[in-house]
Chains A and B, each alone.
Chain A
Amino acid sequence: MKPRQLGWDALGIAVFVVMVFPVFWMISTAFKPNDLIVSLTPTWIPLHPTFDHFTDAIHRPYFWTDVKNSLIIVCVTVALSIALAFLAAIALARFGFAGRKLFVVLVIGIQMLPQAGLIIPLYVVLARYHQVNTLTGVIVTYMTFVLPFSVWTLRGFLLGIPKELEEAAMVDGSTRVGVFLKILLPLMGPGLVATSVFAFITTWNEYIFARILLNDQSKQTVTVWLSYFYSTNRHTDWGALMAASTLTAVPVVVFFLLVQRRIAFGLTSGAVRG
């Protein structure tokens, strides 16, 4: 093996370790008994794992309420965003209208603004309409960044589907709705899945907006719940915190594993030459 190749491999492994170690440490700590956690000699893998921290975590106040809040917010945001973005993407990819180019540029350009700069104006606007400390307020806020991104990615997927397919179906006897249901929708499957995964992960993991907009503990999301965890006790209960963190990460991982095979391959191959 060439030394150059060896260097790249080493770099790759180093990056991998740096990325994976925190996750590994989180999971490992979640299963360690308390004495191992505070011990000065680190234990990599607990030989006698305990589930006490998990029971601890889920019996804390508001855990289930906040998980429910998170699920409501995520599901509504993803469903609404994907539905609206799909229609918008069709308009952008297939129909010509004045200002289309500008619109496409704006949709992605506005994403470049730092979110922190939007927090105060958004808060003021939401407060005026009594949407602070409500789930709907958070959903609307999340959609301000999930929707444009979804429009943008779905448009990209749509541009990859040859227009002739729709034209062929229309000549074959389909209505526009028929074309949408029988041709576009099945072919857009991978694109819709990929975009939903992104939307799901972003909204499930979001913290800043939720932290600022939701004051009432019974209305918070699970990420905010996690942050309260840290500061409520005199000393931090690391085991329970890590167990809670692990639990919070689980839905994202499960969702991703469920759909990753659908993202991996495109369906349009073989439609046209090549």
Chain B
Amino acid sequence: MAGITLDRVTKVFGAVKAVDGVSLEVGDGEFLVLVGPSGCGKSTLLRLLAGLEDVTGGTITIGDRDVTDLAPRSRDIAMVFQSYALYPHMTVRQNLGYGLRARKTPKNEIARRVGEVAELLGLADLLDRRPAHLSGGQRQRVAMGRAIVRQPQAFLLDEPLSNLDAKLRVGMRASLAQLHQRLGVTTVYVTHDQTEAMTLGQRVAVMRDGHILQCDSPSELYAHPNDLFIAAFIGSPAMNLVEAFPDGDTIRFGQFTLPAPRAPRQERVVLGIRPETFGIGNPALPTIDVRVEVVEDLGSEAHVFFHVDAPPITAEVLESASEEVLLGADRALFTARVDAGAAPAVGATVALGVDVERFHYFDADSGARLTGEPMAALAGAQS
């Protein structure tokens, strides 16, 4: 096992900078997730790590070896592909043992390790089958097994769960986390699914346009996204975003005005409100009166949707923004997460409490996070 260090790694395809000067350190035994929308460069970064693409610039170190110019087979890493890439003409046993055979491991050693891994992943009964005769979940496990059996320095996983159906995916996600705990191998995991990223990663690196925007623990990413894009990307349901206008100790957005003690002293900001920041029936919170458009009752909680009279911010920030177009594209649709028991009826007008201390502020032009505190301190100094 070993840590991985990327130093200003760049990859250019023709005129496109797929990866643009990425520096990143993955600790020994760490589970790091690379997440971002498709085309953000996360898969390319993984392929650079594996040696399947040559870097245009920068260096890659695994352990204390500079592997930048080494062939994939000399890097001592294992990779799991989105399509699994099982060798169709080989049985599960041969698939699992392929890497060991290629490295001239003694036969009895191969048999022992293949047996162990098959036991670990519950593949013992399938060893003599061909990949064509396996289910999706079984193929996925064989692909994992092929990586594990090699005992490499690091695992590189490229969207390993995206070909499974939703239920199986949740199960495999848990198994993956368990496996990592057990084996403790440095893992770099690529996904476009923020839920997967948040549940699996010890740290999550959010990528966009070939850059890493932020690399932090999931809770830190959620609590302090340092960019509008991350704010919109991380969290489900997504953070509500709207253009807002601070004015002294209040802030105005759409038809609402709320007290905002920590609002930055700027004419125009983007205000971010997590769905759980809203609540019904807490007298300590300031309220807004909203007309309920849709209620999604999930049993454990309910999502209440309401309109804010302001253009939606999601625009170019997220591809998934287009999904929201149905319910009035010209007005922002907010989501509030409330107790299932407290869910109001559709069409009703309710007083929704808002915890203004948990507001997020972003620069309207650059999208950078604006911290209220220094501004407030500055204001204090002025008065």
Contacts and interface: CB of A to CB of B under 8 A. Distances in A.
B73 A272 contact: no
B132 interface: yes
Given A167-B81, A270-B130, A273-B163, A173 B99 contact: yes
A172 B98 contact: yes
A167 B146 CA distance: 14
B88 A271 contact: yes
A178 B99 CA distance: 11
B81 A269 contact: no
Q: How big is chain B's contact interface, by range?
A: 20 to 34
Interface in A53-105: none
B190 to A, nearest CB: 14
A165 B95 CA distance: 11
Nearest to B81: A164
A172 B90 CA distance: 15
Interface in A159-217: 162, 164-165, 167-175, 178, 182-183, 186-187
A203 to B, nearest CB: 30
B35 interface: no
A210 B77 CA distance: 57
Interface of chain A, helix or strand or loop or mixed?
Answer: helix
B99 A271 contact: no
Contacts of A269: 88, 132
Contacts of A164: 81, 83, 85
B131 A171 contact: no
Contacts of B98: 169, 172, 182
Contact of B88 (A169, A171, A270, A273): A270
A144 interface: no
B163 A268 contact: no
B87 A171 contact: no
B80 to A, nearest CB: 9
A188 B83 CA distance: 20
Interface string B121-149: 00000000011111010010000001000
A272 to B, nearest CB: 4
Interface in B51-105: 51-52, 71-73, 75, 77-79, 81, 83-89, 98-99, 102-103
B354 interface: no
Given A162-B85, A187-B89, A273-B84, A168 B102 contact: no
Contact of B102 (A165, A167, A169, A267): A169
A270 B102 contact: no
Given A171-B52, A172-B102, A165 B85 contact: yes
A271 B234 CA distance: 34
A167 B143 CA distance: 13
B131 A270 contact: yes
B273 interface: no
A24 B75 CA distance: 64
Contacts of B50: 167, 171
Contacts of A178: 102
Contacts of B103: 173
B187 to A, nearest CB: 15
B77 to A, nearest CB: 7
A171 B102 contact: no
B150 interface: yes
A174 B52 CA distance: 13
Contacts of A172: 73, 78, 98-99, 102, 146, 150
A271 B52 contact: no
A168 B88 CA distance: 12
A272 B89 CA distance: 12
Contacts of B89: 186-187, 267
A165 B89 CA distance: 11
Nearest to B75: A171
A12 to B, nearest CB: 33
A272 B85 contact: yes
A164 B72 CA distance: 13
Given A187-B88, A273-B163, A170 B83 contact: no
A270 B83 CA distance: 10
Contacts of B52: 167, 170-171
A171 B83 contact: no
Given A167-B79, A186-B89, A270-B132, 5 more contacts: A164-B83, A168-B79, A168-B81, A168-B87, A273-B84
Interface of A: 162, 164-165, 167-175, 178, 182-183, 186-187, 267-273
The list of the 7 closest CB pairs from A to B, nearest first, reads A270-B132, A272-B83, A164-B85, A172-B99, A173-B102, A270-B131, A168-B85
Interface of B: 50-52, 71-73, 75, 77-79, 81, 83-89, 98-99, 102-103, 130-134, 136, 139, 146, 150, 163
25 contacts: A164-B81, A165-B88, A167-B81, A167-B85, A168-B79, A168-B87, A169-B102, A170-B51, A170-B72, A171-B52, A171-B72, A172-B78, A172-B99, A173-B99, A173-B103, A174-B73, A182-B98, A183-B87, A267-B89, A268-B88, A270-B132, A270-B134, A271-B83, A272-B85, A273-B163
